[in-house]
Structure 1
Amino acid sequence: MKIVKHRLRSKMGDDWLNDCLVPYIEKEVFDLVPNEVVMQHYQKMQNRMQSL
């Protein structure tokens, strides 16, 4: 983690970076999920500004 993320150079959190790396590492699993399902999931989510 220290190679990818340096405390003074990057503000990304460990959780966010981990969430981004999981789909990259588990490509075979995520290839089984149709793109349409992913798009529908994000379309159903509320905008962050609406939830404030």
Structure 2
Amino acid sequence: MGFHPVEEKGWTDVCKEDPSLESGLNMVDGKIVCEAVAKAFGLEYHS
């Protein structure tokens, strides 16, 4: 079984290759980047 592209390349490179994947990210560098997730848990949202 092979590796998933994110495991091989990292999320930043994979999202550069396919920008549609970026909308599925909830957290980046320990910060919540999904507004709906932040609201649901009463946490700070980072754009």
Do both share a fold (TM > 0.5)? no
TM-score normalized by the length of structure 2? 0.27
TM-score (norm 1): 0.26
Rg (Cα) greater in structure: 1
Q: As a proportion of its length, which structure holds more helix?
A: 1
Higher relative contact order (Cα pairs below 8 Å, separated by 6+ residues): 2
